[in-house]
Amino acid sequence: MPNVTPAADSHTMTPIDGGITAPEGFTSAAVHCGIKAKPGVLDLAVLASNALASVAGIFTTNLAQAAPVLVSKRHLDMTRGIGRAIVVNSGCANACTGDEGLANAARMASEVAADLGCEPSQVLVASTGVIGVGLKMDRVVSGIRQASSSLARGHGGEAARAIMTTDPFPKDGAVRVATASGAYTIGGMAKGSGMIEPNMATMIGFLTTDAQVPPALLRRALRESARDTFNAITVDGECSTNDSLFAMASGASGVAVTDDLYPGFLDGMLAVSRHLALGIVRGGEGATRVIAVTVRDAQTVDAARQVARTIANSPLVKTAVHGADPNWGRIVAAAGRAGVAFDIDRLTVTVGGVLLFDHGLPHDDAAPQAAEAFARDTVDVELSLGAGDASATIWGCDLSAEYVRINGEYRT
């Protein structure tokens, strides 16, 4: 993450190491408990606050919601945004597992609570992996006890590895935010590679901060930061049963986020979230390139997002990018079926700064330069609808044969 110095206010941000436990007041531990068959592969993690913290969460809009999603939503309602810990496993989604799955998710919270000396409702639960498979609770309980007894700072990187499924690399990050009232830290980790279509946040993500943030304000910052980061990415247009995004604020820095400090806090949340979200896209199943689709001059932000998302999700656009084929016609066609009204005679399309379509007319003479732009690690697609002054960006990735192989063999 680059250093950021906002011009509009008096805070500065600096990237730091440490990930999810970079903020003061947080510890974590990761273990292999046997959910994943390969020996030694981390598959369970516990993240804990040293004291009661503000907590917030946003969840999948999929109607087939997994047991950990239902339990975590219930716990947030019960505590009104106060908690101590999150327990997460990979390798098994505990989704579509009925009453037994709900009981298992609740037991995961109870086991952590017993080890930390808090109420079960003060523990949130997340799971990721294969749908329709039950957790082996003897292994999970043993792993929870092992993790709870070894909580420490400096284990953020291990926790980020423990939540991976098909992810090709772990994703974590942190920033230090300096203000006139003092400094605080925001950290985070996330997993996600396939089944990525953000209808809440997407994937499983965790953000921590040692700023003092009331639960209601933390919920607001989580939603606002997710809107333009986790909610602005897509790999394959698939919304998971387990999508969850959590935030915890320990307050250990002593810096209270007031209305005056909120813009800086939101900037920090955005910086960490964007870093993690783009990591998810770059690590998408089989991905070789990131596609950044920016739609400008739309009537509304929602209209711009709808057009950008349709383009980023188009299999024809994604395969053209994979093959470095400057097929601007696929981009125009996807925009035209997005359900947003615009005049094609006012539409312009550029890729990597190369103008390919201008006010209804093609510029095929630019195809050689466009082919080079399509072959870059990040392919920047920009459209102007000529209908207003709103804009939005959605990040996606290309579609390769490797994506088909991974998902064709996921359960086997």
pLDDT of residue 155: 92
Query: Where do you find CATH 3.10.20.340 in the chain?
Result: 290-408
pLDDT of residue 412: 57
Catalytic residue among 128, 185, 202, 294: 202
pLDDT of residue 2: 53
C-alpha dihedral (237, 66, 174, 257), degrees to nearest 10: 110
Query: Where do you find CATH 3.60.70.12 in the chain?
Result: 12-282
In the annotation, is 202 catalytic? yes
What pLDDT tens digit does each residue of the chain (412 aa) get? 655 444 445 899 999 999 999 999 999 999 999 999 899 999 999 999 999 999 999 998 888 899 999 999 999 999 999 999 999 999 999 999 999 999 999 999 999 999 999 999 999 999 998 889 999 999 999 999 999 999 999 999 999 999 998 788 899 999 999 999 999 999 999 987 655 555 544 478 999 999 999 999 999 999 999 999 998 888 766 566 788 999 999 999 999 999 899 999 999 999 999 999 988 888 777 778 899 999 999 999 999 999 999 999 999 999 999 998 888 999 999 999 999 999 999 999 999 999 999 998 999 888 889 889 889 999 999 999 999 999 999 999 888 777 777 677 755 5
Using DSSP bridges, classify how beta strands 378-384 and 290-298 pair: parallel, antiparallel or unpaired.
parallel
The one-letter amino acid at 341? A
The one-letter amino acid at 115? D
| Class of domain 12-282 as given by CATH | alpha beta
SS (H, E, C) the chain: CCCECCCCCCCEEEEECCHHHCCCCEEEEEECCCCCCCCCCCCEEEEEEEEEEEEEEEECCCCCCCHHHHHHHHHHHHHCCEEEEEEEEEEECCCCCHHHHHHHHHHHHHHHHHHHCCCHHHEEEEEEEECCCCCCHHHHHHHHHHHHCCCECCCHHHHHHHCCCCCCCCEEEEEEEEECCEEEEEEEEEECCCCCCCCCCCCEEEEEECCECCHHHHHHHHHHHHHCCHHHECCCCCCCCCCEEEEEECCCCCCECCCCCHHHHHHHHHHHHHHHHHHHHHCCCCCCCEEEEEEEEECCHHHHHHHHHHHHHCHHHHHHHHCCCCCHHHHHHHHHCCCCCCCHHHCEEEECCEEEEECCEECHHHHHHHHHHHCCCEEEEEEECCCCCEEEEEEEECCCHHHHHHHHCCCC
Q: Return the CATH number of the domain spanning residue range 290-408.
A: 3.10.20.340
